[in-house]
């Protein structure tokens, strides 16, 4: 009888700790992040975003993602499984006339759709978006 109780307590605590670890890892995403690196374009980062850097905001409790692509805002459903993340779902995007940084905005939104996973540094200050095994975007916590 004691062996069964011990086994039940052990497995219960194991399952609870696993759930807490997943929740804690996901909660590291919460808040607003500002882009400071993007891979691919042959234009300098400051040339792509002369006036305003793109941002991304996560609300993990509501499963929502939103942000500013440097001119227009966007929002959609947050799809996360472990460290896998999916931005291929349709998002609402405003259509303001953008005089500066249009190429930067297009680069940001198209790169976002290629992201397959993410990593938040241990100190919680840097968010990396990864496509396959290549770091494509880097954000700093605001």
**What are the pLDDT digits (tens) for 92-106?**
999 998 877 678 999
Q: CA-to-CA distance for 109 and 11, rounded, in angstroms? A: 43
Q: How much of the chain exceeds pLDDT 90, in percent?
A: 71
For residue 5, pLDDT over 70 is answered with no
Instruction: Compute the average pLDDT of residues 15-30.
Output: 62
Confidence at residue 75, expressed as pLDDT on a 0 to 100 scale: 98
Instruction: Compute the average pLDDT of residues 67-94.
Output: 96
For residue 34, pLDDT over 80 is answered with yes
For residue 9, pLDDT over 50 is answered with no
For 20-29, 51-60, 80-89, which range has the lowest pLDDT when averaged over its residues?
20-29
Beta carbons of 25 and 19 less than 8 angstroms apart: no
| C-alpha dist (Å) from residue 93 to 5, 56, 105, 118 | 54, 13, 11, 22
| Selected residue with higher pLDDT from 22 and 72 | 72
**pTM for this one?**
0.82
Q: CA-to-CA distance for 105 and 54, rounded, in angstroms? A: 8
For residue 23, pLDDT over 80 is answered with no
């Amino acid at each position: 009888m004691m062996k069964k109780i011990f086994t039940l307590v052990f497995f219960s605590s194991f399952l609870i700790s696993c759930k807490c670890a997943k929740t804690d890892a996901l909660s590291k995403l919460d808040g607003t992040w500002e882009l400071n690196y993007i891979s691919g374009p042959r234009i300098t980062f400051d040339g792509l975003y002369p006036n305003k850097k793109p941002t991304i905001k996560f609300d993990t409790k509501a499963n929502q993602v939103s942000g500013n692509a440097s001119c227009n805002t966007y929002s959609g459903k947050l799809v996360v499984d472990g460290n896998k993340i999916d931005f291929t779902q349709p998002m609402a995007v405003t259509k303001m006339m953008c005089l500066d940084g249009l190429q930067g905005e297009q680069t940001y939104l198209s790169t976002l759709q290629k992201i397959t996973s993410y990593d938040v540094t241990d100190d919680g200050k840097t968010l990396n978006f990864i496509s396959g095994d290549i770091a494509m975007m880097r954000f700093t916590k605001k």
